[in-house]
Amino acid sequence: MPRRVFLLSPASTTGKRAHILLRDEARFELALAVRSREGAPLGEVFAFLSGLYFRGKLAYARRFAPGATWVITASAGLVSPDARVSHGDLRRHARVPIDASAEAFRRPLERDARRLREELEPEDEVVLLGSIATDKYVATLLEAFGPRLLFPPDFVGRGDMSRGGLLLRAAREGRELPYAPVAGAVRHGKRPPKLDPSTRVRE
The band of 66, judged by pLDDT with boundaries at 50, 70 and 90, is confident
Neighbours of 124 (CB within 10 A): 17
Report the DSSP beta bridge partners of residue 151: 180
Contact 9, 155 (CB under 8 A): no
Mean pLDDT of 112-126: 96
Domain spans of the chain, in order of start: 4-12+51-82+105-199
- In angstroms, rounded to a whole number, what is the distance separating the alpha carbons of residues 10 and 73? 5
In this model, does residue 199 exceed pLDDT 50? no
Contact 155, 178 (CB under 8 A): no
DSSP label at residue 156: T
Structural Rg of the chain based on CA atoms = 17
- In angstroms, rounded to a whole number, what is the distance separating the alpha carbons of residues 192 and 166? 12
- In angstroms, rounded to a whole number, what is the distance separating the alpha carbons of residues 68 and 61? 8
The band of 196, judged by pLDDT with boundaries at 50, 70 and 90, is very low
The band of 43, judged by pLDDT with boundaries at 50, 70 and 90, is very high
Residue type (1 letter), 188: H
In this model, does residue 190 exceed pLDDT 60? no
Amino acid 27: pLDDT: 94
In this model, does residue 134 exceed pLDDT 60? yes
Give this prediction's pTM. Answer: 0.90
Amino acid 4: pLDDT: 95
